[in-house]
Amino acid sequence: MKYLHHLTDKIILSLIGRSFVVLSSIDVRMQRELSYLPEKFILALAVDHHAPALVFKKDKQKIKYCGSHEDLSKVDLKIFFKNEEFAYQVLAAKEGIRLAFSEGKILLEGDLDFAVSFIYILEIIEAYLMAKSSADDSLEYDLDKQISRFSLFFKALLTKKEKGEI
Amino acid sequence: MDLPNYYEFFNPIKINAGENALNTLSYELEQLAVEKPLILTNQMLDEIKILDDLMDSLAEVNISPEQIIKNIPNQATVEIVKSCAEKYKKYACDGIIALGGEAIIDTAKGINLLISENTKDLKNLRGIDTIYSKMEPFIIIPTATGTGSEAALKAVITDDQFNKDLEFISSKLMPDLAVIDPRMTYEMPPRLTASTGIDSLVHAVESYTGLQRNPISDAYAFSALKLIGSSLKPLVKDISNKYHRMAMNNAALMSGIAFANSRAGIIYAIGDACEKIAGVSHGDALSILLPHGMFHNLKFEYCRNSYQDILLALSGPEKYSNTAAKDRAVMAVAEIAKLLNELQLLTAIPLTLSEIGVKRREFPDIIEKAMHNTAVLASAGKVKREDIESVLEAAF
């Protein structure tokens, strides 16, 4: 079961990363949150403190997906879960990310206000990716979607990660 | 109450509270193996002889003048933290005593961070649970009760160079000991007593309705609310009353512990944003926003349930039983509004945001700031920008 959750975390994280890139140029709510972050801001998301993190970079109001990295010395904000099982609960939409944050299951290195922005962004991505019933139950987010789930999956699969160092 | 699926609660602080509590300090320093503490305070506390009370209680400890820093400003900054940390090292100190309010306490926390983590740059430690080292022995003697800083796991230190507040959240920021001695707060005038009392009230109310409320934080918040209900107004009327002063000191501490463990909510988030954007007093903003934020929360069932308990704690069993169950939540908000009006008559505390200088044109910035405060994530419902705007309009 643990291995299955680990695999789920990896797949969903990868999907979240690519969806972030797609939605950053489509969804106006996400663009508003992005505008709160400084230019060239580098974000990282990991399932636990010691795991490699997915890295994203804001560049000209758009998001570049830099893939998974272990060296996070240049990262401005790192968000990670207290343990992998907590990550699974959130990534599999069994628990809202906002509640998980309030419960102390999510930790971060960096500025708190930027972290809140990132949490709103993750909420929006999850609301797009999850089936409506899951999103309604765990995210309580009645989102007016600006792209269908199928189109988002398709575009996300075609999204390439940036090459080279972050 | 609804039991949360998961919660964390942490409070390792030893609390010595009551008359002459300060006299235990020498013993406690010995227990903590501290021989050379660095003492932080400000000029005002020196002038009104509060520092003398502390030094009297430390008569058995050999304290040299260079171990006392009397010029801590009203805002904790990176520069002052660095210069104090250098003194800590230079004079080979082995513990920290913070005598004062929030700025002095946050400065002390910053020094402890720099020394314990052996780093030169505080910026690298901002975030949640970023501290892994063993901390230096740390004692807090609060002189302005209400903020609950003595129990807070948070510190805010301003980086003037980048015009940015660095925020640190970690259980390691909590002190080893908090000494609550009524002598330290006797000098607070009625207006400040009212304002800090309301600060404690906001902490207790928000921790009772936040997403991370739990049975233990509820116990602290409920006890704090009972003390506030019975002692805040009498104390404002008679500021030298020892019993009520001590009751409010305890209320501040307990609501601070509850607040630290259950996170804040929409009222705190907007109050904090008003302070940062409009430059108004944090306490004033919170007291104005309290009834409006509570009114906003009435639409959530679990807040309505919590507010029933708040009515019981604040106004007593008679009022509670004489109010129909369906009306108790609204009555709790009405009772708080009544208390604020009474305090306004006694001390002229402000009741609207326009009174304290918040401008309507500042609303967009206040809303953005409040939306990006972590407190808003722990608030009931999914707070939206329009929710914050409606609270601001109501309080304006």
Asked whether B344 and B351 are in contact (CB, 8 A), the reply is yes
B173-205 pLDDT tens trace: 999 999 999 888 877 899 999 999 999 999 999
Q: What ipTM does this complex have?
A: 0.90
Mutation target vs A (from B373, B382, B387; most A CBs, 10 A cutoff): B382
Please give the angle made by the CA atoms of B354, B363 and B74, to the nearest 5 degrees.
Answer: 70
Q: Smallest CA–CA separation between B163 and chain A, in Å?
A: 13
Over residues A58-79, mean pLDDT? 89
Q: Do B126 and A111 touch (CB under 8 A)?
A: yes
Look up the domain containing A24 and give its range.
2-155
Closest residue in B to A74 (Cα–Cα): B124
The yes-or-no verdict on residue A140 having pLDDT over 60 is no
Residue B378 to residue A91: CA distance in whole angstroms: 19
Query: CATH code for B14-184?
Result: 3.40.50.1970
Task: Tell me which residue in A103, A116, A140 faces B382 most closely, judged by beta carbons.
Answer: A140
B289-313 pLDDT tens trace: 999 999 999 999 989 999 999 999 9
CATH 1.20.1090.10 for domain B190-395, yes or no, is: yes
Tell me whether residue A166 is in a domain. Answer: no
Residues 6 or more apart in contact with residue B240 via CB below 8 angstroms? B186
The yes-or-no verdict on residue B120 having pLDDT over 90 is no
Residue B387, Cβ neighbours under 10 Å: how many?
22
Tally of structural domains, chain A: 1
Scan residues 103-132 of B and list those with Cβ closer than 8 Å to A: 126-130
- Indicate which CATH number applies to the domain containing A44: 3.30.1050.10
CB contact, 8 Å: A4 with chain B?
no
Closest residue in B to A113 (Cα–Cα): B372
Tell me whether residue A165 is in a domain. Answer: no
* Domains of chain B by residue range: 14-184, 190-395
Spacing of C-alpha B64 from chain mean position:
31
Residue B159, Cβ neighbours under 10 Å: how many?
15
pLDDT-derived band of residue A141, with 50, 70 and 90 as boundaries? low
Over residues B100-126, mean pLDDT? 94
